[in-house]
Amino acid sequence: MQSNSTTAYQQHDHHRCLKAALAQARQRCAERKARLTPIRESVLHLLWQSHRPLGAYKIIEQLSAASGKRVLPPTVYRALDFLLELGLIHRLATLNAYIGCPFPDSVHSDYFLLCRECGSVAECSAENVNDAIVATAEEAGFLVEKQTVEILGLCTPCQEKTRK
Amino acid sequence: MQSNSTTAYQQHDHHRCLKAALAQARQRCAERKARLTPIRESVLHLLWQSHRPLGAYKIIEQLSAASGKRVLPPTVYRALDFLLELGLIHRLATLNAYIGCPFPDSVHSDYFLLCRECGSVAECSAENVNDAIVATAEEAGFLVEKQTVEILGLCTPCQEKTRK
DNA sequence: CGCTTGGTCGTGATAATATTACAGTATTTG
DNA sequence: CAAATACTGTAATATTATCACGACCAAGCG
């Protein structure tokens, strides 16, 4: 099982997360001969400000604020599409929001732990979950192509805070 | 494992599905002292026209057409909220669409098999999937409150058609 | 070097999904 | 019946996402 749940929910040197993500992005783009343009990098950068997902229009706002000029939806959606395509970010269907992928390299049928209290999201790749899903789908004769697994709940720190 | 995958994807006497769903709805409303008003029943009825989920605005269209007068969004969203609350329908986050629940009585951490070809959706309650999710979340110290599991792929009949 | 081609970006308009606010009507309850 | 509660009608608006079209830029080629 692969997961960034410890870093996502705890105090940590987030600068390292950001740096690692950008490095991986650059490498991946080089491999695929894709261009990590300034806009695309800015969007990725924004998504890695924290482990909290960001809606497309929040990105538009922040990008507009940062650049001083009005950024329009297609600009951001195009960047998001590009990053999604490369597996550098994910879209969270239950939140209509986007988040950076902490391990774009591993081929993942991944799932997400969304803390309803602090808003942070961790990503996991757990084989047993994947196996269970594929096995059960198979029982129904269903061919699995893409999984969307989003778990809402409380992360460890927020459980402790709530208990008080 | 509980599932309606055989009926959902195959030829079947759908009238029975519809009838059963309405009967269950009436019973559940009686139990909860909730009112299955004409609008609410119409919406539920529409959602049980088939095993294909329906977007809110499709419901609005159909309801408008059927009643002869313009039905506005809040009317339908209120009915949907009511039915969701009672567990009589589900919302599919990946499709922004709604579908009738085939077994509202079982307390389910359920998941959905969405066929990308025919558009039909089956619902399953599989303990092993649920267990795997809870177990893996626990490993990360995460308290699960609500699961969203939506599997995109091909149902048996559509796999066969595609193979040709 | 200039040209062409394909990918990227800027912009306005619009589509699709969902919510708010408020007034009016029906239903249940005391 | 009166009061309280639940339900509905309606206009306006919020939120998320896409389309269409033209300009621009960057890489490869004659």
pLDDT of residue B109: 73
Chain B: give the shortest CA distance to residue A108, in Å.
14
Span A138-148, pLDDT tens digits: 999 999 999 99
How confident is the model at residue A164, as a pLDDT? Answer: 66
| CATH code of the domain in which B102 resides | 1.10.10.10
Provide, as residue numbers in chain A, all residues whose Cβ is less than 8 Å from the Cβ of B9: 141
Query: What mean pLDDT is predicted for residues A114-137?
Result: 93
Which nucleotides of strand C lie within 7 A of protein CB?
7-14, 16-21, 27-29
| CA A136 to each of CA A53, B111, B135: distance values in angstroms, whole numbers, following the listed order | 30, 10, 17
The DSSP 8-state label assigned to residue B71 in this structure reads P
pLDDT, tens digit, 9 for 90 and up, residues B76-130: 999 999 999 999 999 999 999 999 999 988 876 789 999 999 999 999 988 889 9
Please report the pLDDT score of residue B71 as a whole number: 97
**Best mutation target, B143, B150, B152, B159, to test chain A (most A CBs within 10 A):** B143
Banded pLDDT at A18 (limits 50, 70, 90):
very high
Compute the distance between CA of residue B144 and CA of residue B135 in angstroms, rounded to an integer: 10
pLDDT band at B164 (very low <50, low <70, confident <90, very high): low
**Would the CA dihedral through A122, A124, A129, A133 be positive or negative?**
positive
Q: Which residue has the higher pLDDT, A62 or A128?
A: A62
CA–C1' A95–C16 (A): 16
Tell me the mean pLDDT in the region B127-141. Answer: 93
Helix axes A127-139, B127-139, angle to 10 degrees: 170
Indicate yes or no: CB of A133 within 8 angstroms of CB of B139.
Answer: no
Could you tell me if residue B111 is left (phi over 0), alpha (psi between -120 and 50 degrees) or otherwise beta? beta
Verify whether the Cβ–Cβ distance B143 to A159 is below 8 Å. Answer: yes
Least confident of A34-43, A81-90, A102-111, B119-128: A102-111
What is the secondary structure of A129-149 as a DSSP string?
A: HHHHHHHHHHHTT-EEEEEEE
Nucleotides of D under 7 A from a protein CB: 6-12, 15-20
Residues 86-105 of chain B with CB under 8 A from chain A are 93-94
Mean pLDDT of A111-133: 94
Give SS3 for B145: strand
Give the percent of chain A with pLDDT over 70.
Answer: 98
Q: What residues of chain A lie within 8 A of the CB of B116, using their CB?
A: 145
Residue A43 near residue A55 (C-beta atoms within 8 A): no
Task: Say if residue B43's pLDDT is above 70.
Answer: yes
The predicted pLDDT at position B133 comes to: 94
- 107-146 of B, contacting A, C-beta below 8 A: 111, 113, 115-116, 122, 124, 126, 128-129, 131-133, 135-137, 139-146
- The total number of structural domains in chain B stands at 1
- B85 versus A106: the higher-pLDDT residue is B85
Gap from B75 CA to C21 C1', Å: 14
Band (A52; pLDDT cuts 50, 70, 90): very high
- Containing structural domain, residue B148: 2-163
Q: Mean pLDDT in chain A?
A: 94
CB-based contact B124 A143, cutoff 8 Å: no
Interface A-B, measured as beta-carbon pairs within 8 A, has a size of 139
Instruction: Report the distance separating Cα A116 and Cα A121, nearest Å.
Output: 9
- In degrees, rounded to 5, the angle at the alpha carbon of residue B14 between the alpha carbons of residues B9 and B20 is 115
The count of other CB atoms within 10 Å of the CB of residue A112 is 21
DSSP string, B3-60: E-HHHHHS---HHHHHHHHHHHHHHHHHHHT----HHHHHHHHHHTSSSS-B-HHHHH
By C1' distance from the Cα of A75, the closest nucleotide is C9
